[in-house]
C-alpha cells in the first residue's frame, strides 16, 4: 500500500469531536459520535455555509446536550475542555440562544433547526427534564404543537392560493413555489395535532395543485394519517428538520409579505418563518421554466451562498517523472533497435500536462500516494495508448462493445472495468463478486507461502514465478459479503477491488490472491456505492445512513464523513483531481464535498428523482448526473450552475461516462439503450456571463434532440455500466434479461 | 400468515386499503376478538405500515437495478426496520394471485408442501448454467449492427444484404469443385455465431439430398454441411433438427441412384451418414429424443422388408449400430433369425449373375457382425458395471477410455445410461411407439444371446468378440462363463484385433495348418480357402476409385467359398486357429507388415466401418475427431 504522510488528513477517534471540525458548519461528526444511528441526523444536517460566532456556540451546546442525553459523558468532557466552555455557560447560552432565535427576521440563517430545538426546550423546560431519554425527534416535532386553529387551515391555504393566482404573471410563478412546502407543513401540523379527518380533507382538496414532480413525496404523505406515523418516517423527518429553501425576487417577496400582513394571516406567516428559508435576490423575477428546472429536490433549491465557495476544479499537474521516464523508455526502445518515432508526440503531451492550471488545487492539497514503478509503467502505457486514441466527435462516433452477462440468475447489481479495460468485475445480488479477465490473459493467484519460499527470488521473472499457473482461469468468484453487492470499484493499479454491500460493509479484495483483505465497517446500513480515488489509496462510500465516508485503504475508520444529504447517498464519484467527491442522493440533490476539510462546497438541485449515476468530465470542469426520471443534467462545477438538460431516456440512468477527451457523453439506462450526447456542444452553448453566474438563473435551451448523437438499443439488456477504453472504444455492460 | 386482503380502490386516495373486516377476520383466525374501533385503527395502521415497507423496499429494487419488486426486497426493508421478515415467498416465479368468486376476495395460492418429501427428493434439479460474460460488437463506428445480440435466434427474418451474400458464398463453396474452399466454408459454418437467421435456408439446401441421389459427391458435401451446422455451438437447431435428421436418414436408408453403379462407393456415404446420425443424437439429444423411436421404427421397417435392396438393409444395420447397442439389441437382434434366412440365400447363390448382390450381402453380413459384436461387448460391460455396483451410467468416460471413446459414434444416445436396466428402456420405448413389435421384447440373458448369435456367426463372432480393446478394462463377471473363456485370448494378445486386416488373414491362412491342436479344427483345408478367397477378391471386386478398400474388401467374403453351413464351420476353423494359436505366434507372423507397426493398435479400434474397408476413412474419423476431410 502506498504510504501517505501523516498530515492534516489524519483523524483519529479521539480527535473526532474537536471544535475546529464542528465550527465549520457542516458538523463533521463521525464514528462513535454519530454511532451510525439515523437519530443523529438532525444534528448532522445543519446547514452549510458561513455561520456567525453566536451560532457556533449554540451548535456546540446543542451537541453537548445531545451527548449528555446519550450518556456519552466522556465525549462531553473532551468537547467542553476543547471548546473552553464552562458548565454554567452552557445553560446561560441556552436561554440566550432561544432569545436570539425568536428575534430572527426574514429568513436569516441564524434561525437554524437547532435554535428551534431550544425554543421549545425553553418553552417547556420541565418536559425536557422529565423525558431526558426521549429521542430528539419528538422535540423537533413538538414545534408544531404551538400552532393554532386547525379548522381554518383550508381557509388560509385557499386564501393564499387566491392571492397568488391574482398577482401579476411575473410574480405568480415565483410565489407558486410556496404552495408545496406550505401544503406539506400544514398537512403535517394537522396530522400532528390529531385532526385526522381535517388533514384528509385538506390533502384531498389541495394535493392536486402540487407540481407533478412532487408526486413521490405526496404519495408518502397521503399514507400518513396518524401522529404516531410521523415518528418513524424518515422522509418527513427530513422535511421537518431541514428548512425548505425558496428563491424569490425581492419584489415578489415584498408582495407576499404585504399580503400576509394585511390579512393578519399569522398562521401562514409563522410557517414561513419557521420552516421555510426564503433566499431573496434582487432583480427580475424568474420565469416558470427557470424555477422548474432548479426545483424538485426534497428540501427546495440550494441557497446561493452555499455554492459560493471556490472549487479548484482544475487537474493536477502530471508528475514530473513522466518525461524522463518516457525518455528512458525511448532509449530502451532505441537499444532494441527501434526508431525514435513517438518522441515529439510525447513531448507535446508532457508539456501540456506541465502547464499549471490556474483552477487546479495545490499539488499537495491533499496528500497523494507516491507513484510506484509499476504505476509509472502504467502511465507510460497510458500515454502510448492515448496517442492511438480515436478523436471522437459528432461525425465520428465510437464503436460500442456490449459485455453481456449471461445466466446471471442471481441478479447483476454492479459492474466496473479497470481503466485499461483488462478486467471486468460484477457484483451480484447473491452476495458474490465475480472478476473476469476480458483479455486472453487468465487470472492467476499468487502461490501459497510454502511454494513461495521455494522460488528463486533473484530471478528476473520473479513476478511471473510467484503466480500459480494451476489457478489460471477466466474468472474468479469472491465470497465474503452477506448481502447484495451494490457497488464495485477497481483500484487504478488493478491490484485491489472494492465492493460495497447491503450488509453494511465495504470490502477490499486483493486481485493477487483473490481474497478479502479488509472489511470496512462504519455505515451500519446498506452501502449503495463505493469508488476508488483516481490516484488510489483513498476511496469513498455512500449508503442508506445518508452520509458518504472517505476512507484510506490502510485505515479501518473513515477519514471524513460527508453528512448533509437528507436521504440515502446513492452514488459517489471522485473528481479527477481527487480533491473533491460528488455524491448523488435520493433527496434529489447532488453535492460536492471537499476532501480536504469535509465541507460541502456545492449543492446542485434540479433532479426530479433519485440520482443514480454521476460522471466528471475529464477536464474536471463539468459534472453530469443521471436520475430515475431519465434525465441527464450537466453542471458547471466552477459556477455551481446547471448548464444542460438531456432528455430522452425513458427509465433510470444507471451509467454515465465521458469519452477520454470529453467530447462525447454516453449514458446507459434501464430502458435498454445507450445514448451518445454531444457534450462539447452542450458546454459551448452555455451563456456564462456575469449575471447568470452571480444569480445562478440559467436559461436552459431545450435542445436535447440536437445534442443527441445516437441511440443504440441492446437486446433486453439494461445498461449497467459504461466505460471508454483508452482508445475511446465504448464498452457497455449489463445482464441479459430474458423476460 | 398469508393474509386475505380485500382491495378497495377509492378514487380520491388512489391506493389500496385493508378494510377492517379483513383485520377482524384475521384476528378471529388467531382467536382474538376485536372491537370495531380497534379494528379500524389497526386497519389504518396496517395500511400505513404496509405502504411504508413497500416504499422502503423500492430502493432495494432500484439499487438491484430491477424493475420488478421482489419478496426479497420487501424482506430487506422489513429487516432494516427491525421487523420480522416473511419467509417462504422468495421464489423467483410469480405467485398466482387468485380472485374468489363470491365476495371480492383475492388471495395467493398457498399450497402445502411436504417438506420431508422435498428434502428426500432424488430428482435434484441440475445446476444452472455458469454465469458468464460474452462480448459482442454492437455498433461499429456508431453504426448499427443489424444482427440481434446474443445466441437467441430469431424466427426467419428478412435477410440483410451481408447475410444473403454470405449464404450464396457458402453454398457455392460447399457445393462447388474446390475442395479447399469447401473446407474453409464448412469450418466457418461450424463456428460462425451469426448465421442463426440463415439456418432455415441451409436446412432447405440440405433437404435437397433427394434430388441429388445420383451424385455421391454432392450427397457427401451436403452431409458435411449437416455436420457443420450440428457442430456450430451458436446455432440452436430447434425444430430444424427433424429436417436434418430426415436428410441424414435418406442417405442411410434409401437405395440411392448412385448405388446402381457398383463402382460408386455409397457404402462410405451410408457409414458416414450413420456416424452423423449418432453424432446428432449425442450432441442434440434433447432435441431429437422424440425422434428416437420414429427412427427405430423406420429402420426396423426397412430391415424387415425383403424387397428392399441390400444396401438399404446395410443402411438400416449401420443406422441401428449408430443409435447404440440398445437399439441393436431391441431391433436387430430379434430380427436376426428372420433376416438370416434371406441373407443366407443371397450368400449361397454362386451364380455369376448374383455376384454383385452377393458382394452386397457380405457387406450386410459384416455390418451385422460388427453391430452384434458391439452389442455383446456393451452388454457384458453393462453387466459388469451393474455387478460392480458402479451403475451410474458412464458411457464412454470410464476406464478403458481410449478405445471406448473412439467407439463413441456407435454408442447409445446419452439419454440411455449404459447400466439402465432393460426393463426401463422397454417401457421407454413403449411410450414412444404404440404397437411396436419390440413391445413384447423380453431381455435375453447375455449367455443366451451369445449362444444364439454364435449359431449364426460361429467362431467368426468369437474371434471378433475376443478382439478389440477390452471394454471398461474389466473382464466379464463370473456368471458368464462362456464369455470369460472366450475373452481370455484378448487380454493376452491385444493385437489380435489386427486379424481383421486382410493381410493378416492371409497370413493366418498360411499358419493355419499348424493349428493341429485346435479342438475345433474343421476338416476343410484352410489353405484352399485362402487361395479361393484371394481369387474371388481379385476377380470380383474392382478397385474402388480413390479408396483403399479393395484389398480388404474380400475379408468380408472370406467364408464365401464354403457353401452353406459348412462354410461357416470353415470360418470357425480359420478363426479358431487365430484365436487358439496363443496369439503370440499370430502376432509374430504379422509384425513385419509395415502398416501395422507404424500405427498403434488403437487406430483400428473403430469397428463400424470395418466391414469391407478398414483403411483410411476410419482412421481419419477416429483419430482426428471427424475432421472435415473425407476422401471422396
Q: Which of A391, A406, A474, A716 would best serve as a mutation to test chain B binding (most B beta carbons within 10 A)?
A: A406
Find out whether B235 and B199 touch, Cβ atoms under 8 Å. yes
Q: A396, B134: Cβ pair inside 8 Å?
A: no
- Treating both helix axes as pointing N-terminal to C-terminal, what angle do B422-432 and B291-303 enclose, rounded to 10 degrees? 90
B385 vs A22, A76, A388, A666, B486, CA distance in Å?
79, 79, 63, 61, 19
Question: How many angstroms separate the CA atoms of B187 and B373, rounded?
Answer: 35
Question: How many angstroms separate the CA atoms of A276 and A299, rounded?
Answer: 9
Q: Which of B51, B58, B65 would best serve as a mutation to test chain A binding (most A beta carbons within 10 A)?
A: B65
This prediction's pTM? 0.58
| pLDDT exceeds 90 at position A538 | yes
Q: A404, B135: Cβ pair inside 8 Å?
A: yes
- Which of A220, A502, A736 faces B76 most closely, judged by CB atoms? A502
Separation in Å, CA of B94 to nearest CA in chain A: 12
pLDDT value of residue A175: 87
Question: How many angstroms separate the CA atoms of A273 and B360, rounded?
Answer: 109
Total residues belonging to chain A: 739
| pLDDT exceeds 50 at position A614 | yes
Q: Give the other-Cβ count within 10 Å of A468's Cβ.
A: 15
Q: What is the pLDDT of residues B371-427, one digit of tens each?
A: 888 888 888 888 877 766 544 444 433 333 333 333 333 333 443 333 333 333 333
**Average pLDDT score over chain A:** 77
DSSP state at residue B156: S
Q: Which CATH architecture has domain B20-120?
A: Orthogonal Bundle (1.10)
ipTM: 0.77
- Which of A225, A483, A570 faces B44 most closely, judged by CB atoms? A225
Domain boundaries, chain B: 20-120
Q: What is the pLDDT of residues A383-415, one digit of tens each?
A: 888 888 888 888 888 989 999 888 887 789 999
| pLDDT exceeds 90 at position A96 | no
Question: How many angstroms separate the CA atoms of A597 and A5, rounded?
Answer: 17
Q: Which residue has the higher pLDDT, A329 or A306?
A: A306
Question: How many angstroms separate the CA atoms of B20 and B36, rounded?
Answer: 8
Q: Which residue has the higher pLDDT, B579 or A234?
A: A234
Q: A404, B149: Cβ pair inside 8 Å?
A: yes
Handedness of CA B397, B403, B406, B410 (dihedral sign): negative
Q: Is A730 exposed, middle or buried (0-12, 13-18, 19+ CB in 10 A)?
A: buried
Separation in Å, CA of B40 to nearest CA in chain A: 13
C-alpha B138 chain-centroid distance: 36
Helix, strand, coil proportions of chain A in percent (round to 5)?
35, 25, 40
Q: What is the mean pLDDT of residues A309-335?
A: 62
Determine the 3-state secondary structure of A403 from DSSP: strand
Number of H helices, E strands in chain A: 27, 31
Which among A577, A572, A585 is positioned nearest to A615, based on CA atoms?
A572
Q: What is the pLDDT of residues A207-254, one digit of tens each?
A: 888 888 888 888 888 877 777 787 777 767 777 777 888 888 888 888
pLDDT value of residue B128: 58
| DSSP run (H or E) holding A444 | strand A443-446
pLDDT value of residue A147: 52
Q: Is A385 exposed, middle or buried (0-12, 13-18, 19+ CB in 10 A)?
A: middle
Find out whether A475 and A483 touch, Cβ atoms under 8 Å. no
Q: Provide φ and ψ at B533, rounded to 5°.
A: -55, -45
Show residues of chain B in contact with A424, CB under 8 Å: 133
DSSP state at residue B136: E
Residues linked to residue A593 through DSSP beta bridges, in sequence order: A581, A600
Handedness of CA A638, A641, A645, A650 (dihedral sign): positive
DSSP state at residue A389: P
Q: A526, B63: Cβ pair inside 8 Å?
A: yes
Q: B51, A223: Cβ pair inside 8 Å?
A: yes
- Which of B128, B133, B138 faces A400 most closely, judged by CB atoms? B138
Show residues of chain B in contact with A570, CB under 8 Å: 63
Separation in Å, CA of A81 to nearest CA in chain B: 37
Which three three-digit cell numbers place residue B217? Answer: 459427391
Q: Give the other-Cβ count within 10 Å of A331's Cβ.
A: 11
Q: Is B283 exposed, middle or buried (0-12, 13-18, 19+ CB in 10 A)?
A: middle
B23 vs A173, A226, B6, B29, CA distance in Å?
46, 18, 10, 10
Show residues of chain A in contact with B37, CB under 8 Å: none
Q: B138, A412: Cβ pair inside 8 Å?
A: no
Find out whether B358 and B347 touch, Cβ atoms under 8 Å. yes
| pLDDT exceeds 80 at position A511 | yes
| pLDDT exceeds 70 at position A663 | yes
pLDDT-based confidence at residue B502 (cuts at 50, 70, 90) = very low
Q: A226, B48: Cβ pair inside 8 Å?
A: yes
Total residues belonging to chain B: 632
Q: Give the other-Cβ count within 10 Å of B97's Cβ.
A: 9
Closest residue on chain B to A410 (Cα): B131
Q: B138, A411: Cβ pair inside 8 Å?
A: no
Percent of chain A beyond pLDDT 70? 76
| DSSP run (H or E) holding B341 | helix B333-348
Amino acid at each position: 500500500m502506498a504510504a501517505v504522510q501523516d498530515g492534516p488528513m489524519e483523524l483519529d477517534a479521539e480527535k473526532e469531536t474537536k471544535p475546529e471540525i464542528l465550527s465549520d458548519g457542516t458538523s463533521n461528526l463521525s464514528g462513535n459520535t454519530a454511532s451510525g444511528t439515523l437519530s443523529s441526523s438532525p444534528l448532522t444536517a445543519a446547514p452549510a455555509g458561513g455561520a456567525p460566532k453566536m451560532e457556533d456556540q449554540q451548535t456546540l451546546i446543542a451537541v453537548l446536550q445531545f451527548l449528555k442525553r446519550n450518556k456519552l459523558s466522556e465525549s462531553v468532557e473532551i468537547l467542553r475542555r476543547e471548546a473552553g466552555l464552562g458548565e454554567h455557560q452552557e445553560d446561560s447560552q441556552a436561554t440566550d440562544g432561544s432569545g436570539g432565535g425568536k428575534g430572527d427576521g426574514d429568513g436569516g440563517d441564524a434561525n437554524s433547526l437547532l435554535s428551534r430545538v431550544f425554543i421549545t426546550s425553553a418553552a417547556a423546560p420541565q418536559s425536557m427534564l422529565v423525558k431526558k431519554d426521549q429521542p430528539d425527534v419528538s422535540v423537533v416535532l413538538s414545534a408544531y404543537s404551538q400552532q393554532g386553529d386547525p379548522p381554518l387551515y383550508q381557509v388560509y391555504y385557499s386564501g393564499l392560493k387566491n392571492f397568488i393566482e391574482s398577482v401579476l404573471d411575473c410574480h405568480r410563478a415565483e410565489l407558486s413555489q410556496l404552495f408545496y412546502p406550505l401544503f406539506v407543513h400544514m398537512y403535517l401540523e394537522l396530522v400532528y395535532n390529531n385532526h385526522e379527518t381535517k388533514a384528509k380533507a385538506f390533502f384531498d382538496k389541495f394535493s392536486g395543485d402540487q407540481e407533478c414532480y412532487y408526486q413521490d413525496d405526496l404519495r408518502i404523505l397521503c399514507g400518513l394519517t396518524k401522529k404516531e406515523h410521523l415518528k418513524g418516517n424518515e422522509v418527513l423527518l427530513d422535511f421537518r428538520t431541514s428548512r425548505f429553501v425558496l428563491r424569490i425576487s425581492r419584489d415578489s417577496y415584498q408582495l407576499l409579505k404585504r399580503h400576509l400582513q394585511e390579512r393578519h394571516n399569522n398562521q401562514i406567516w409563522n410557517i414561513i418563518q419557521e420552516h421555510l428559508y426564503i433566499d431573496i435576490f434582487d432583480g427580475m423575477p424568474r420565469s416558470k421554466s427557470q424555477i422548474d428546472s432548479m426545483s424538485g429536490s426534497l428540501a427546495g433549491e440550494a441557497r446561493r451562498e452555499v455554492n459560493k465557495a471556490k472549487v479548484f476544479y482544475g487537474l493536477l499537474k502530471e508528475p514530473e517523472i513522466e518525461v524522463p521516464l518516457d525518455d528512458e523508455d525511448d532509449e530502451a526502445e532505441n537499444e532494441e533497435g527501434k526508431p525514435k518515432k513517438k518522441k515529439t508526440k510525447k513531448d507535446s503531451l508532457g508539456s501540456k500536462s506541465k502547464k499549471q492550471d490556474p483552477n487546479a488545487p495545490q499539488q499537495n492539497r491533499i496528500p497523494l500516494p507516491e507513484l510506484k514503478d509499476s504505476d509509472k509503467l502504467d502511465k507510460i502505457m497510458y500515454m502510448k495508448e492515448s496517442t492511438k486514441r480515436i478523436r471522437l466527435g459528432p461525425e465520428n462516433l465510437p464503436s460500442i462493445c456490449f459485455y453481456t452477462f449471461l445466466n446471471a440468475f442471481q441478479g447483476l447489481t454492479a459492474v466496473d472495468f479497470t481503466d485499461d479495460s483488462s478486467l471486468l468485475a460484477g457484483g451480484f445480488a447473491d452476495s458474490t463478486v465475480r472478476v473476469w479477465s476480458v483479455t486472453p490473459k487468465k487470472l492467476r493467484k499468487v502461490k501459497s507461502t510454502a511454494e513461495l519460499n521455494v522460488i528463486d527470488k533473484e530471478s528476473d521473472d520473479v513476478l511471473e514465478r510467484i503466480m500459480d499457473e494451476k489457478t489460471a482461469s477466466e474468472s474468479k468468484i469472491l465470497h465474503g459479503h452477506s448481502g447484495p453487492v451494490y457497488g464495485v470499484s477497481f483500484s487504478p493499479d488493478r491490484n485491489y477491488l472494492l465492493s460495497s454491500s447491503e450488509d453494511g460493509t465495504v470490502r477490499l479484495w486483493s486481485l493477487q490472491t483473490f481474497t478479502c483483505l479488509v472489511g470496512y465497517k462504519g455505515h451500519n446500513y446498506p452501502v449503495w456505492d463505493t469508488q476508488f480515488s483516481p490516484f488510489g489509496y483513498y476511496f469513498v462510500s455512500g449508503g442508506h445512513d445518508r452520509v458518504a465516508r472517505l476512507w484510506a485503504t490502510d485505515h479501518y475508520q473513515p477519514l471524513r464523513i460527508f453528512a448533509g444529504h437528507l436521504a440515502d447517498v446513492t452514488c459517489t464519484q471522485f473528481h479527477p483531481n481527487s480533491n473533491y467527491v460528488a455524491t448523488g442522493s435520493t433527496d434529489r440533490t447532488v453535492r460536492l464535498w471537499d476532501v480536504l476539510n469535509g465541507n460541502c462546497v456545492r449543492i446542485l438541485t434540479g433532479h426530479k428523482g433519485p440520482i443514480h449515476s454521476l460522471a466528471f468530465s475529464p477536464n474536471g470542469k463539468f459534472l453530469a448526473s443521471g436520475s430515475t426520471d431519465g434525465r441527464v443534467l450537466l453542471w458547471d462545477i466552477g459556477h455551481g450552475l446547471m448548464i444542460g438538460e438531456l432528455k430522452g431516456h425513458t427509465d433510470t440512468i444507471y451509467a454515465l461516462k465521458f469519452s477520454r477527451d470529453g467530447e462525447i457523453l454516453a449514458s446507459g439506462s434501464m430502458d435498454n439503450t445507450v445514448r451518445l450526447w454531444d457534450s462539447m456542444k452542450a458546454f459551448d452553448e452555455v451563456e456564462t456571463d456575469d449575471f447568470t453566474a452571480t444569480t445562478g438563473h440559467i436559461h436552459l435551451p431545450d435542445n436535447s434532440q440536437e445534442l443527441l448523437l445516437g441511440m443504440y438499443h441492446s437486446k433486453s439488456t439494461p445498461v449497467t455500466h459504461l466505460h471508454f477504453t483508452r482508445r475511446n472504444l465504448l464498452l457497455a455492460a449489463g445482464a441479459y434479461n430474458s423476460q | 400468515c398469508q393474509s386475505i386482503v380485500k382491495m378497495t380502490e377509492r378514487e380520491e386516495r388512489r391506493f389500496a386499503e385493508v378494510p377492517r373486516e379483513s383485520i377482524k377476520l384475521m384476528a378471529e383466525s388467531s382467536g382474538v376478538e376485536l372491537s370495531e374501533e380497534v379494528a379500524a385503527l389497526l386497519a389504518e395502521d396496517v395500511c400505513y405500515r404496509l405502504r411504508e415497507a413497500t416504499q422502503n423496499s423500492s430502493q432495494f429494487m432500484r439499487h438491484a437495478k430491477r424493475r420488478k419488486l421482489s419478496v426479497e426486497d420487501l424482506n430487506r426493508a422489513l429487516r432494516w426496520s427491525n421487523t420480522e421478515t416473511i419467509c417462504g415467498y422468495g421464489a423467483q416465479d410469480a405467485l398466482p394471485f387468485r380472485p374468489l368468486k363470491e365476495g371480492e376476495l383475492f388471495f395467493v395460492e398457498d399450497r402445502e408442501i411436504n417438506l420431508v418429501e422435498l428434502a428426500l427428493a432424488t430428482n435434484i434439479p441440475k445446476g444452472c448454467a455458469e454465469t458468464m460474460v460474452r462480448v459482442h460488437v454492437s455498433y461499429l463506428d456508431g453504426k448499427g449492427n443489424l444482427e440481434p445480440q446474443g445466441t437467441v435466434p430469431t424466427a426467419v427474418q428478412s435477410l440483410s444484404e451481408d447475410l444473403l451474400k454470405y449464404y450464396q458464398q457458402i453454398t457455392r463453396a460447399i457445393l462447388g469443385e474446390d475442395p479447399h474452399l469447401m473446407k474453409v466454408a464448412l469450418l466457418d459454418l461450424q463456428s460462425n455465431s451469426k448465421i442463426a437467421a440463415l439456418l432455415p435456408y441451409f436446412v432447405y439446401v440440405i433437404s435437397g439430398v433427394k434430388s441429388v441421389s445420383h451424385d455421391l459427391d454432392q450427397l457427401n458435401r451436403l452431409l458435411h454441411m449437416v455436420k457443420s451446422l450440428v457442430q456450430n455451438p451458436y446455432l440452436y437447431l430447434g425444430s430444424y433438427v427433424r429436417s436434418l435428421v430426415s436428410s441424414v436418414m435418406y442417405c442411410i436408408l434409401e437405395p440411392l441412384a448412385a448405388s446402381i453403379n457398383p463402382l460408386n462407393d455409397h457404402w462410405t456415404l451410408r457409414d458416414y451418414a450413420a456416424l452423423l446420425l449418432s453424432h446428432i443424437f449425442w450432441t442434440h439429444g434433447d432435441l431429437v429424443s422424440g425422434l428416437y423411436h420414429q427412427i427405430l421404427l423406420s429402420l426396423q421397417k426397412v430391415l424387415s422388408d425383403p424387397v428392399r435392396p441390400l444396401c438399404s438393409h446395410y443402411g438400416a444395420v449401420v443406422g441401428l449400430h449408430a443409435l447404440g447397442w440398445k437399439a441393436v439389441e431391441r431391433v436387430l437382434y430379434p430380427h436376426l433369425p428372420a433376416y438370416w434366412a434371406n441373407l443366407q440365400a443371397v450368400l449361397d447363390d454362386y451364380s455369376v449373375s448374383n455376384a454383385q448382390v452377393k458382394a452386397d450381402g457380405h457387406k450386410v453380413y459384416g455390418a451385422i457382425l460388427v453391430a452384434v459384436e458391439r452389442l455383446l461387448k456393451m452388454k457384458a460391460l453393462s453387466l459388469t458395471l451393474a455387478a460392480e455396483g458402479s451403475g451410474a451410467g458412464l458411457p464412454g468416460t470410464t476406464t478403458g477410455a481410449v478405445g471406448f471413446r473412439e467407439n463413441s459414434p456407435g454408442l447409445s444416445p446419452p439419454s440411455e445410461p449404459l447400466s439402465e436396466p432393460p426393463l426401463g428402456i422397454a417401457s421407454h420405448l413403449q411410450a414412444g411407439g404404440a404397437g411396436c413389435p419390440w413391445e413384447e421384447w423380453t431381455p435375453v440373458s447375455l449367455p443366451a444371446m451369445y449362444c444364439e448369435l454364435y449359431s449364426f456367426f460361429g467362431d467368426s463372432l468369437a474371434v471378433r468378440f475376443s478382439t478389440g480393446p477390452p471394454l471398461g478394462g474389466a473382464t466379464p463377471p463370473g456368471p458368464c462363463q462362456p464369455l470369460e473363456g472366450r475373452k481370455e485370448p484378448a487380454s493376452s494378445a491385444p493385437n489380435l484385433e489386427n486379424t481383421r486386416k486382410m493381410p493378416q488373414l492371409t497370413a493366418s491362412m498360411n499358419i493355419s495348418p499348424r493349428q493341429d491342436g485346435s479342438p475345433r479344427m474343421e476338416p476343410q483345408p484352410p489353405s484352399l480357402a485362402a487361395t479361393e478367397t484371394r481369387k474371388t477378391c481379385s476377380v470380383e471386386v474392382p478397385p474402388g476409385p480413390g479408396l483403399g478398400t479393395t484389398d480388404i474388401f474380400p475379408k468380408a467374403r472370406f467364408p464365401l467359398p464354403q457353401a452353406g453351413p459348412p462354410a461357416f464351420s470353415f470360418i470357425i476353423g480359420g478363426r479358431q486357429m487365430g484365436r487358439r494359436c496363443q496369439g503370440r505366434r499370430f502376432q509374430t507372423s504379422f509384425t513385419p507388415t509395415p502398416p501395422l507397426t507404424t500405427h498403434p493398435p488403437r487406430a483400428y479400434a473403430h469397428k463400424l466401418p470395418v466391414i469391407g474397408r478398414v483403411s483410411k476413412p476410419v482412421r481419419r474419423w477416429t483419430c482426428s475427431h471427424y475432421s472435415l476431410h473425407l476422401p471422396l
